[in-house]
Chain A
Amino acid sequence: MKKARKCLLGLVGAVCLGSIAGCGTNQSSKEINIGVSAPLTGQFAQDGKYMKQGIQLAVNDVNAKGGIGGRQIKLFFEDDQGPNPTVASNAVTKLVTQDNVVAVIGPHFSPAMLPAESLFSKYKVPALTGATGPVITAQGNPWIFRIRLNDSIGAKLLVQYAVNDLHLKRVGLDYVNTSFGQSGIQAVKQALAADGITPVDIQTHDDSTKDFTSQILSFEKAKVDGVIVWTDDQPSGLLAQQMKQLGANFKLIGSTSFSQPPFLNLAGSASNGAYAITDFTQNNPDPRIQAWESKFNSVYHTKPELYATAYYDAMNILIDALQHSSKVDAPSIQKALENIKNYQGVITNYSYSSGGDMVHAGLITQVQNGQPVVIKKVSGS
Chain B
Amino acid sequence: MSLQLIISGLAMGAIYALIALGFTLIWNAVGIVNFAQGELVMIAAYVSAGWLAMSLHLPWVLNLLMVMIFMAIFGIFIARWMYHPLRKSSQLSAIVATIGLSLFLKNIAVLIWGPEPLIDPSPFKAVTLHVGRAAFSGQYISILAALLILMGLQVFMFRRTQVGRAMQATAQDGEVARLMGVNTKTIISIIFAYAFVLAGIAGVLMAPLFYVSADMGSLVALKAFAACIIGGFGNVQGALVGGLILGVLEAFGSYFISSQYVDVISFGLLIAFLIFRPQGIFGEPIMERP
Contact A214 to B252, CB < 8 A, known contacts A205-B259, A266-B119: yes
Taken together as a complex, chains A and B put the C-alpha atoms of A238 and B209 apart, in Å, by 8
Interface size on B, residues (CB 8 A): 34
Residues of B close to A265: CB separation below 8 A: 119
Taken together as a complex, chains A and B put the C-alpha atoms of A177 and B258 apart, in Å, by 13
Residues of B180-238 at the interface with A, using a CB-CB cut-off of 8 Å, are 209-211, 213-216, 218-220
Residues of B1-26 at the interface with A, using a CB-CB cut-off of 8 Å, are 1, 4-5, 8, 11-12
Contact A217 to B5, CB < 8 A, known contacts A208-B215, A246-B135: yes
A206 within 8 A of B: yes
Residues of B close to A262: CB separation below 8 A: 116-117
Residues of A188-207 at the interface with B, using a CB-CB cut-off of 8 Å, are 202-207
Q: Is the CB of A247 within 8 A of B119?
A: no
Residues of A close to B250: CB separation below 8 A: 211, 214
Contact A214 to B116, CB < 8 A, known contacts A234-B211, A238-B211: no
Binds B, one of A43-51, A93-101, A122-130, A311-319: A43-51
Residues of A close to B119: CB separation below 8 A: 265-266, 268
A215 within 8 A of B: yes
Nearest chain B CB to A223's CB is how many angstroms away? Answer: 13
Partner of A204, one of B110, B220, B252, B260: B260
**Chain A, Cβ-Cβ closest to B255:** A214
Q: Is the CB of A217 within 8 A of B4?
A: yes
Residues of B close to A206: CB separation below 8 A: 219, 263
Q: Is the CB of B251 within 8 A of A247?
A: no
Q: Is the CB of A46 within 8 A of B115?
A: yes
B122 within 8 A of A: no
Taken together as a complex, chains A and B put the C-alpha atoms of A218 and B116 apart, in Å, by 30
A-B contacts at CB below 8 angstroms, number: 78
Interface string of B98-131 (1 = CB under 8 A from A): 0000000000001000111101000000001000
Q: Is the CB of B115 within 8 A of A208?
A: no
Contact A237 to B259, CB < 8 A, known contacts A210-B220, A215-B254, A247-B135: no
B279 within 8 A of A: no
Residues of A261-279 at the interface with B, using a CB-CB cut-off of 8 Å, are 262, 265-266, 268
A245 within 8 A of B: yes
Taken together as a complex, chains A and B put the C-alpha atoms of A206 and B262 apart, in Å, by 10
Residues of A31-74 at the interface with B, using a CB-CB cut-off of 8 Å, are 42-46
Residues of A close to B135: CB separation below 8 A: 245-247
Nearest chain A CB to B109's CB is how many angstroms away? Answer: 10
Residues of A close to B220: CB separation below 8 A: 210
Q: Is the CB of A245 within 8 A of B4?
A: no
Partner of B259, one of A207, A210, A218: A218
Q: Is the CB of A204 within 8 A of B219?
A: no
A368 within 8 A of B: no
Taken together as a complex, chains A and B put the C-alpha atoms of A257 and B195 apart, in Å, by 37
Residues of B close to A211: CB separation below 8 A: 8, 11-12, 250-251
Taken together as a complex, chains A and B put the C-alpha atoms of A211 and B214 apart, in Å, by 18
Residues of B59-102 at the interface with A, using a CB-CB cut-off of 8 Å, are none
A213 within 8 A of B: yes
Nearest chain A CB to B114's CB is how many angstroms away? Answer: 7
Residues of B242-257 at the interface with A, using a CB-CB cut-off of 8 Å, are 250-252, 254-255
Interface size on A, residues (CB 8 A): 32
Contact A213 to B117, CB < 8 A, known contacts A237-B211, A246-B135: no
Residues of A close to B219: CB separation below 8 A: 206, 208
B168 within 8 A of A: no
Interface string of A77-121 (1 = CB under 8 A from B): 000000000000000000000000000000000000000000000
Nearest chain B CB to A194's CB is how many angstroms away? Answer: 24
A233 within 8 A of B: yes
Taken together as a complex, chains A and B put the C-alpha atoms of A265 and B219 apart, in Å, by 24
**Chain A, Cβ-Cβ closest to B128:** A245
Q: Is the CB of B254 within 8 A of A214?
A: yes
B137 within 8 A of A: yes
Partner of A46, one of B11, B116, B211: B116
Contact A44 to B4, CB < 8 A, known contacts A214-B259, A234-B211: no
Residues of B close to A44: CB separation below 8 A: 115
Q: Is the CB of A204 within 8 A of B5?
A: no
Taken together as a complex, chains A and B put the C-alpha atoms of A11 and B273 apart, in Å, by 67
Taken together as a complex, chains A and B put the C-alpha atoms of A261 and B259 apart, in Å, by 28
Nearest chain A CB to B116's CB is how many angstroms away? Answer: 6
Partner of B115, one of A43, A177, A214: A43
Residues of A close to B215: CB separation below 8 A: 207-208
Contact A233 to B117, CB < 8 A, known contacts A43-B214, A238-B211, A245-B128: yes
**Chain A, Cβ-Cβ closest to B115:** A43
Taken together as a complex, chains A and B put the C-alpha atoms of A42 and B114 apart, in Å, by 9
Contact A210 to B260, CB < 8 A, known contacts A43-B214, A44-B115, A246-B135: no
Q: Is the CB of B259 within 8 A of A203?
A: yes
**Chain B, Cβ-Cβ closest to A213:** B8
Residues of A close to B209: CB separation below 8 A: 210
Taken together as a complex, chains A and B put the C-alpha atoms of A210 and B254 apart, in Å, by 13
Residues of A close to B12: CB separation below 8 A: 210-211
Residues of A close to B259: CB separation below 8 A: 203-205, 214-215, 218
Residues of B close to A218: CB separation below 8 A: 254-255, 259
Q: List 11 A-B contacts (CB under 8 A).
A: A42-B115, A203-B260, A206-B263, A213-B4, A213-B8, A214-B250, A218-B254, A234-B117, A234-B211, A246-B4, A262-B117
**Sample of 12 more A-B contacts, CB < 8 Å, known A217-B4, A218-B255:** A42-B110, A45-B115, A46-B114, A177-B260, A211-B250, A213-B251, A214-B259, A217-B1, A218-B254, A221-B1, A265-B119, A266-B117
